[in-house]
Every structure is written in structure tokens, then in C-alpha cells.
Structure 1
Amino acid sequence: MTHAPAALMPVPGPAAPPVSEARRGGLLVFGAAMAWSFGGAIARGLEITDPWAIIAWRDFFATLLLMGFMLWRDGPAGTMRLFRSMGLPGLGVAFCVAIATTSFVVALGYTTVANILLMQAGVPLIAALLGVVFLREAVDAVTWAAILMVIAGISVMVSDSFGTNISFIGDGLALTIAVVFAAATVITRRYSGVRMTPAACLGIMVGGFVAFLLSSGMRVGLSDLGLLVLFGALTLGLGMAMFVTGARLIPSALAALISTMEPAFGPVWVWLIHGEVPAPRTLVGGVVVFLALVGHILWQWRRSRRTALPLPN
């Protein structure tokens, strides 16, 4: 009797992780969202105008960081082994990352950033639904309430832009970004035994190569080069490494929920660094998103403490 390769064998849904692992996973995903949230502030400081060149440089430096991290941690032989062992789940995550990073740039040419952010607000809902269907993960009422609050908060943030630059192509691509990001979250969670750092690296590498082919030129000034190093290595590379490491330790809906701190904090960094004062609705919506996440985290912490208490004799 022949056995199917490990990458093709169905993997049962992950068991609930220990409290310490879940806490570490939540902190890593939160760190990823914080890293991603600086992207807008960094992009504001760039003088280069070709978006494809920006993405190509960003993905190049992100690839360097991820490859360097894996070589330092696992050595050349171990790094090659990670790429070979990621199997179909890793290729799936790589495909999702490549689609998300390239679709974002194309969508900006057809629709507004506000519309893209609004679609991203649906990621926790999509991830929760996919988790229920494919992982049999139970989503409690408090998490559903937090997801709805996040969607409402980001809707308030971008409500000033409703009705402008509506495009079937642009909004379709924005929805695609939300779906593939949620799918990558669920795949990472389902195959929690597979390290997804090489998958993220491969996806970024493919996205960067596509952007390089579509760019009008790769010449940049020295100041732009420094910002692009931050944009790629720290914002995208480090953020993606933390996300794929943390997302496998916590439920899919929670990982996607925590990642929504990116659009909530993004306008704050632009405000503090570049002096661009956010609109009142942006501040109100950001506060709603922040309170939804903090309230959910406090509720989970209280529940975990209650569970950990010894039973009375």
C-alpha cells in the first residue's frame, strides 16, 4: 500500500493551544500589525513615484531579511529543508502572499485607499467563516461582536470617501486581497506544524519579481533607499515573519482580528511623523477598532485566568 506525501495528507484541525502559546501567538500577530502600520508613514516620505518600483524594492529588502533570518537560525541546509518541506500548504500561503502584495498596487490605480481598508475590515469575518467550515473552530459570541465592531469602526474611518472612485476592478481586487489574506491565515493555522516563513519569503519574492517586470526603472536616491530598507525589511519582512509564526498558535478569527490594528494605527503614525491630522471620523473609527480589540483581549485574559484557577475542594 502506498502512502500519500505528508503535504497531501489531510491534517486535523489544531487543538486548543496552551495559554502561554496562545499569548505568544497573540503578541506576535500584534507585533506584525504594528510593523505593517508604519507602511503608510514610510511611503509618505518617498520621493520615487513609480509604485511598481517601490514594491520591487520593498519586496527585495523583505526577501533579504527573511532569507537572512532563516540562514542565521537554521543554516543553509536547514533553510533548504524548510523550503522543501513546506509542501502544498506552504505553496498555498506563498500564492496568497504574492496575490495580496501585487493586487494592492493594482487596486490603488482603480479605487481609493479607503475602499481597500473597508474590504480589509472584512478579513476577520472571512477568516472566522473559513475557520468554522475547514477547521471546525468554534467562534464565540464575544469574538463575533468584536468582529462586527471592527467592521463598524473601519466603516466610520473611511465613510468620508464613500461614493468616490467606485470601480468594479479596483473593489474586486480589494475584496480579493481580503479573501486571500484570510485564506493564508486559515492555512497557517490548519497546518500549524509547518513553518510558513519560507512560504512568506517565496510569495514576497514572486510579488517583487512581478513588480520589477512592470516597473519603469529601479533608480532611487540615497534617502529613498534608506526608507525602502525600512519599508521592506522591517515593515513587510519582519511583520510577515511575526504573523506567520504567531497565526499558527491562535484561532484564525483572533489572528485576523488582531491584524486589524494595522489600519487603526496607520493614520496615527502619519499624523505624528508627517503632521497630517486625521479627520475626526478617522479618529472615532480608530478608537472603536482599538476598543473592540482591547475589550476582546481583556475578556480572553479573564477567561484564561478563570480556567487556570484550581477547583475548590
Structure 2
Amino acid sequence: MRASSPALTHGRAVWLMALAALMWSIAGVVTRQLEQARSFEITFWRSFFMLLSLLVMLPLLRGRTAFAPLLRAGPALWLSGLCWGVMFTAFMVAITLMPVANVLVTMAAAPLLTALVARLCIGHRIATRTWAAIAAAGVGIVWMYGSQVSQLSPVGLAVALCIPVAGAVNWTVVQQAQGQGQAVDLVPAVFIGALLSCLATLPWALPFAASARDIALLALLGLFQLAIPCVLVVYCGRVLKAPEIALLGLLEVIFGILLAWLGAGERPAPAVLMGGTLVIAALVFNELLGWKEQGT
């Protein structure tokens, strides 16, 4: 943000991060209100409107040099952008194939999967508490899906799993680049992700079938569910530590399940609630202990 922006206090950053999680969480309930748009067309329009939003917002927030990082982008930035593109696409396709709650809980396992990928690829040490959290989250995921195997789409499950896998690869790439002194700017990476998502889904989205109401709802998602929260997280990251951001980000799962339940009548199955509770408890346990170990 520009130097003229008001000072961001810790308390204000917490509230802004919670607001970002609430904005992220509207995807499921809004998607359930669509009339004619389906699958890849939904993904295309959401990514397209996010792209338009960032084209307007970034110059306002960062000045004329907003897109300069794209001109000197290295492999890490483009690989991060590719991962974001996979996550944007997989998330929207998954919630057209599966209940919102299942997708959100599966996505929530990304931080623990990141620890495993970082261990395998760049040798990061995994603390005992994180191994315990990974095991508990694994039990929660199996619990959630085990009782629903015959009712869920195998394709939907595979697509949903692409979200935490891409997220794990993304953050591992970012960590490795930072370790080599090459910081990856999140906002340009997200911009690249939105662009790649648009290009990849456009052929599958044709011919367009979305109604004017659908377009308006998807424009809302592009701006309020992706673009603005992305900028808020980058802004809050200047004050909040990584464990705080991870914990507050979990509010998306809670908000998303409640909104889909109350706004679209999509009541989560008992196994989803139990398995999801175990996954979230494992994440909270791991992050709180990590926070304590850092002396915060």
C-alpha cells in the first residue's frame, strides 16, 4: 500500500484478515444461486472478472510500476502463478461436482500437505507436533470421505485434491525461492494464475450459456471473493505472522459451510462435520504450538 495509507495495527489486521476469510467463503453459496452457467464457464468468468479487478486495483494501490514484476518474472513467479491457476480452476470445478463442505475441508489440509512436500523437495524439518497434526488430519479426511465413497463423484474428489496439492507445491516454491534470496510477490503471481485460468478454461466454457444474472454473480465473485481478499492478505501480512494468517484463514471453512447450509440448504453430512472438525482441530493445534515455540 502507499505510504499515505493509515498505519495498520495488529487488531485492525486481525479484523481485515477475518473479513478476507468471510469474502473467500461466499463462493459456494453464490455458485448455488447460478441459473445457467456450469462448470468451466463458471471458472472462466470468475477468473476473468478477477483479472479485470486486479488490472484496475493494482495501479491504484501500487502506482505505475504495479505490473513491473511481470516483466522481470523468474521461473519461481511463473510456477507460483501456474499453481494459483490450478487452484482457481480446481476449486470452482470441484464445488460444481461435490458438496461445498467437502471441498472446503479438503482444501484446508493444504498447510499440512505443504509441510510434507517441503520435507520431500527441499528438506525442511517437520516438527513432531506437525507429524501428529498430519496424521490427525489424514484420519479426518478418511473419516469424511469413507462413509460417502458411494455417493461422491470420483472425478470431483480428484479435482478437489488438486487444490491442496497445488497449494503445497506453490508454497514450497515460494519458500525455496525466498531461501535463495528471490522473493516471490504474491499479487503478480495471483494475477498470472487468474490469466492462466482464463486461458485454460475458455475453450471448455464455449459456447457461453450464462444469464445476465449469472454474469453479475460471477463478477461479484471475481471482485469480492478473489481480488479484494488477495490484496487484504498481502496488506495484513505486513503485521500478522504466518501462524496467525493460517489460523484466521481457517475461518473460510467455517463461514463457507455455514453460508452454504443457510443460504443454499446444503446441510453437511455428519461424517463431514466430524472429519472436518478433526482436520481443523489438527491445524489449530499445530499452528498454536508453532506460535508458542516462536515466543509470540
Question: TM-score w.r.t. structure 2 length?
Answer: 0.75
Residue number in structure 1 paired with 2:164: 178
For residues 102-141 of structure 1, the aligned pairs below 5 Å read 102-104=89-91, 112=98, 120=107, 122-141=109-128
For residues 205-220 of structure 1, the aligned pairs below 5 Å read 205-218=195-208, 220=210
1:184 is displaced (CA, Å) by 0.8
For residues 82-93 of structure 1, the aligned pairs below 5 Å read 82-93=69-80
For residues 147-226 of structure 1, the aligned pairs below 5 Å read 147-164=134-151, 167=154, 171-192=157-178, 193-218=183-208, 220-226=210-216
- The alignment status of 1:57 with 2:45, answered yes or no, reads yes
Residue number in structure 2 paired with 1:79: 66
- CA contact 1:117–1:263 (8 Å) conserved in 2: yes
1:115 is displaced (CA, Å) by 7.3
Calculate percent identity across the aligned residue pairs: 28
Give SS of 2:206's match. Answer: coil
1:88 is displaced (CA, Å) by 1.2
Aligned mates of 1:154, 1:179 — CA distance in 2 = 14
Task: Give the alignment's Cα RMSD to 1 decimal.
Answer: 3.9
- CA contact 1:55–1:211 (8 Å) conserved in 2: yes
Relative to structure 1, the CA distance from residue 196 to residue 41 in structure 2 (aligned partners, 3 Å threshold; closer, same or farther) is: same
Tell me which of 219, 222, 229 is aligned to 1:232. Answer: 222
Residue number in structure 2 paired with 1:17: none
- CA contact 1:130–1:186 (8 Å) conserved in 2: yes
Give SS of 2:126's match. Answer: coil
| Amino acid of the structure 2 residue aligned with 1:287 | T
- Worse overlay, 119-128 or 265-274: 119-128
Aligned mates of 1:61, 1:155 — CA distance in 2 = 36
Question: TM-score w.r.t. structure 1 length?
Answer: 0.71
1:58 is displaced (CA, Å) by 0.4
Tell me which of 275, 279, 287 is aligned to 2:269. Answer: 279
- CA contact 1:150–1:288 (8 Å) conserved in 2: yes
- CA contact 2:105–2:276 (8 Å) conserved in 1: no
- The alignment status of 1:47 with 2:56, answered yes or no, reads no
- Worse overlay, 202-211 or 292-301: 292-301
Give SS of 2:66's match. Answer: helix
Aligned mates of 1:195, 1:141 — CA distance in 2 = 31
